[in-house]
Amino acid sequence: MRPRLAARLALLAIGGVALLAYHNSFGVPFVFDDASSIVTNPTIRRLWPLTDVLAGPATNVTAQGRPLLNLSLALNYAAGGTAVAGYHVVNLLIHAVAGLVLFGIVRRLVGARVALATALIWVAHPLQTESVTYTIQRTEALMALFYLLTFYGFVRAVQASSEGGDLSRHFPGVMREPGRPGRAGWWLGCSVVACAAGMATKEVMATTPLMVLLFDRTFVAGRLREAWRLRRGYYLGLVGTWLLLAWLVFRTGGNRGGSVGFGVDVAPWDYWLTQFKAVAQYLRLTLWPQPLVFEYGSFWIERLGGIVVEALLVFSLLAATIAGLWRRAWWGFLGAWFFGVLAPTSLAPGTTQMIVEHRMYLALAAPCLALAVGLEAALRPRARMAVLVALVGGLTLRTIARNEDYRTEVALWRDTIAQRPANPLAHFMLASAWERAGQPGRAQASYEEALRLKPDFSIGHENLGELLLRQSRPAEAIASFEAALRLQPEFADAHMNLGNALLFTGHVAEALAHLATAVRLNPDLAEPRYNLGQALAAAGRREAAQVEWVAALARPAGSPEVHRAAHAQLADALALSGRPAAAVPHYEAVLRMRPDDAAAHHNLGSALFELGRLGEAARHYESALRLAPDFPGAREHLALVRARLKN
């Protein structure tokens, strides 16, 4: 078969397997961090000005400090709002294209057969589901795509340069190209651009320049000094992308909201000990991807004896990797790839997420290639094909089954709890999912289980309080909010909701104190301002209340419902104070957001009546009666307007 035809068929196979494996993911709802990074992310609501999109959200969400990820979400939002299908289609396209680029790299080094096997296993592997099916982990897949493109550009440049033949000493199947220095320079430029794009997507990209240099030293130049001499400008370009990454990390605080980095309140050694279990788990799931766990929860190593086996495994693999690199063997570089990709998340201490399956997305390429090489060496062509088809088929079926675990939030968290029953975060998230599913009793039970497992879980106390307050159980809610504040005195949401609960029970002065604290802690959010306005109005300070409602409307970081409520309260206050002309725009804003609001139609009609705009007033009274035939006073007011119109 001609090489080009074989390559096209291979590309169709990779794309087909990717589509088959993820065909049932398009209806998966937003889960976990999807809410903060997509549903309530104000910076993806419009594409212009582009600087706002690239600046991204200011709060600690997955999209923070990752401008290209945020831009991709904004493009999705522009195309289809928060409809989930579009986001999953883009995730699948990124995954498939990454598989194709992986195929392109391996094909140029060891030939099409091994490349096809590598890419098919990698694309179909169930360990990839967290990076593809879980929407916001697009960041991992998109970063991996740029990582692979950086390598692809380098390999193409080497093959187009005069020393391209050096690769054939290590890779007998290497594709040869005629020496074209100009073309080589173009490919190196593309490689630097891809590296910069990756730095703007996720911090794990930081290892890319070092990995390219290691590949160059191992397979092309022979020595680090020679690699630097041959391609000094290229490596300066790659190193320059670190400046972009450093700036992005610095402007977002450098520690992902206090959860990751050497500045967090976790001793590095304590975190590093957990990574022996993490790496061992990743390797086990590579070989046998079951059970997969969406959220492993936090854990710490109490006894060194508990990680002896895992530590021996990791140190043995590291020793083999170093030996392989010393001998310039391909398997040594695969070990370096595996550990190099995992290094940023394994070495930077964190307070949560000691094991996260999406971290294996790119690292998985190394064991997939090793397996493909092993199949090529150990089996005859027919047996090799049969084994590959069976393996890829089995992996694809397992991926399809894993996608079913994501079909609802409740299903995903129940599956997580089945695997990690002592994980308080999983019980907490199940409680939130039960709330959204309209099951408050089950939600309360799950919150209480989360708090039994972790009594100092401040956000658990706070959310339980919110649930109780919505059930009109203010005394119990107040106790939960106070428990949250004992654990975390500067907890803005707890102050806000405690203020709401106190206002509900008539303790206006105490409510004002907590709501003012919430505004101080979160001055840029609309909801605390709105609630403070409500408390000021209850205290009879109506002018001060109006100031807060206006301030709430000036804050873009707020839900549309909060803005609608602020417009409604401000309109009513202005109308009652004898300023109907000022009230009309606010009533109109309410109706733009909720056209079926009978009260807003009625009150707008009354304001228009005061202004002498009788025809418009009649239309709004009629709308109020159409929506709510028994709306108090609407028929009398409409009759009065009609009588005035006749006269």
- Please state whether the peptide bond connecting residue 367 to the residue before it is cis, i.e. omega within 30 degrees of 0: no
pLDDT (tens digit, 9 = 90+) per residue, 477-498? 999 999 999 999 999 999 999 9
**DSSP bridge pairs for 557:** 525
pTM of the model: 0.88
- Letter string b/e over residues 269-298, b meaning 16 or more CB atoms within 10 A of that residue's CB: eebebbbbbbbbbbbebbeebeebbbbbbb
Q: What is the pLDDT of residue 524?
A: 87
Q: Taking residues 572-583, what's their average pLDDT?
A: 94
Centre a 10 Å sphere on the Cβ of residue 380 and count the other Cβ atoms it contains: 8
419, 296 Cβ separation under 8 angstroms: no
Could you tell me which CATH number the domain at 559-647 has? 1.25.40.10
Element housing 400 (H / E): helix 381-404
Reported confidence tier of residue 519, pLDDT bands at 50, 70, 90:
very high
Angle value at C-alpha 195, between 21 and 104, nearest 5 degrees: 45
Interatomic CA distance for residues 39 and 33, integer angstroms: 9
Burial of 570 (0-12, 13-18, 19+ CB in 10 A): buried
* pLDDT tens digits along 176-196: 555 566 788 999 999 999 999
372-397: pLDDT as tens digits: 999 999 999 899 999 999 999 999 99
Bigger pLDDT: 603 vs 353? 603
What average pLDDT does this structure show over 244-266?
75
The pLDDT of residue 550 is: 94
Mean pLDDT of 619-623: 95
- Indicate whether 260 pLDDT > 80: no
The percentage of residues in the chain with a pLDDT greater than 70, rounded to a whole number, is 94
Q: Which of 250-264, 338-352, 409-423, 505-519 has the lowest mean pLDDT?
A: 250-264
- Determine how many CB atoms are found less than 10 A away from the CB of residue 534: 20
SS3 category, 525: strand
* Domain span(s) for CATH 1.25.40.10 in the chain: 559-647
pLDDT-based confidence at residue 40 (cuts at 50, 70, 90):
confident
Between 266 and 423, residue with greater pLDDT: 423
The model's confidence at residue 416, banded by pLDDT at 50, 70 and 90, is very high
Q: How confident is the model over 163-179, as a mean pLDDT?
A: 56
Residue pLDDT, tens place only, 456-478: 999 999 999 999 999 999 999 99
Distance of alpha carbon 122 from alpha carbon 143, whole angstroms? 16
